[in-house]
Structures are given as C-alpha cells and as structure tokens.
Amino acid sequence: MEHELQSLTARLLANRWLPRNDRMVRRALIDESFRVELDQRLAAVGLQLQDNPYAGHVAAALAPEMLEPVFGAKREYAASNAGLTRDEIALLVVVWALIVLPKRERQVTRREVADDGQGDMFGAEKPVARGDSVSAGLSEASLIADFGPLLGGKTKVRNFMLGKLARLGFIERRNGVVFEGPLLDVALDYRVLADRIIHGTLADVLSRVGHAVPDTNAFEQADALPDEASDEDPS
C-alpha cells in the first residue's frame, strides 16, 4: 500500500487531476483506510482531494486554510485563486451553467445526450454516467456571438479568454466546440452555484439569448449522492 500511496500522491501533484476510473483513484474512493492515508499525505503539504461523484475526474486542491498564505499576496486573488480576471470568471460561470447544469439533470434522471428519457422502464436503476454521453458541447461561435459583447468583445473571448480556460483545464476546445474539461465539474461548487444561477440574474441573461435553464426539481434530487462502489466503472 505504501508504494501505491506514494505513487498516487506524486501523480496528483504532478498532473493536478486524474480520471476517477484510474485504478488507484478508484481505490481511494472506495477503500476507507487508503483514503485516510492519502488525505493525511495531502494535508501535510496543505492540499486536499477534490472529489465530486458526478464528475469524471478528481483533483488536488489547496486546503481552505492555505488559500490566504499561498495567494493572499497576489492582486488577482481578489477575483480568484487561478489568476482569472472578473470577465474570465464570468465566462467560466456561463460555460459551467450551459454544460454542467444540463449534464447534472441528465445524470440525475439517468438520461444521455442522445436520449429523451422516454420508454426506458429501468432508467432509474442505471449507474450515474460520466463523460461525453451526458456532457454536451457548446458551439464556440454561438457562445462568442451571445456573450462576447458582454465580456469585452468577441476577439478577446475567442483568442484569449477561452484559451486561458482551456490551459487551466476547465474546458477543452475541439473543432469549434467547447467541451467540459477535467476541472469544470470538480473545481466549481455545484451546490452553491446551481441555486444562485437558477434563481439569480444569470438565469435571465441566459434566457434572453435563448439558453434554457434546467428545472430546479432535478437539482434537488442531486443532493442524494450516488453510491461510489456501485457507480464506478469496474474496468
């Protein structure tokens, strides 16, 4: 176990995130003693394992008490601890709302992107799906056309802001489409953001440009977290 703990800790520090179906990550998620040891090793250097059972990745993140000592001296910390400006954070939240909220609704109702959920008698018994089957992409051109004028201009969004979000691991850009990156669902707090978006000003902004906000009822069900052992991919 010692070698696996050392290896997993080093890989988390080097890579920042790992897929949750990784063999050693899966062990950390279902083996309590292994997880305790891992948490202690990360805590010794001011880190914690960031995990969301609906996300496809886990990540190493700063423990809350380390945020100020690490980032407090930097001016951009007032906006974020990833060096994002206010406009970049606004774009990140918009992307999160348009990708993760519909994704979570599909996960909770056990539907996939290409499935309308009708005619499946056993849908509720399916394990929680992750990845492209439930996480749809966004047209980059449509995203820029809808929100570029609000965030400093279309050129700025296309050439700088989206590129920065991709480098940080929040999104992936493929052939003119923006997809969920490994950190989008694990680094942003769904329980805080979902309610604020659905009942806040951003919901009105999204609706004005033709983006529907999912039903609140689906997110109330998401508070019942899936069982890790039964929902993990056994492969």
User: Given this model, what pLDDT does residue 134 score?
Assistant: 87
CA distances from 211 to 48, 90, 101, 194 (A): 35, 16, 12, 15
Q: At what angle do helices 32-43 and 23-30 cross, to 10 degrees?
A: 100
Q: pLDDT: is 76 or 56 the higher one?
A: 56
- pLDDT-based confidence at residue 143 (cuts at 50, 70, 90): very high
> Per-domain residue ranges for the chain?
2-71, 77-224
User: Given this model, what pLDDT does residue 141 score?
Assistant: 95
Query: Which residues fall within 8 angstroms of residue 152, CB to CB, at 6 or more apart?
Result: 87, 161
- pLDDT-based confidence at residue 234 (cuts at 50, 70, 90): very low
Q: pLDDT: is 170 or 226 the higher one?
A: 170
CA distances from 64 to 39, 70, 76, 93, 186 (A): 14, 10, 17, 21, 15
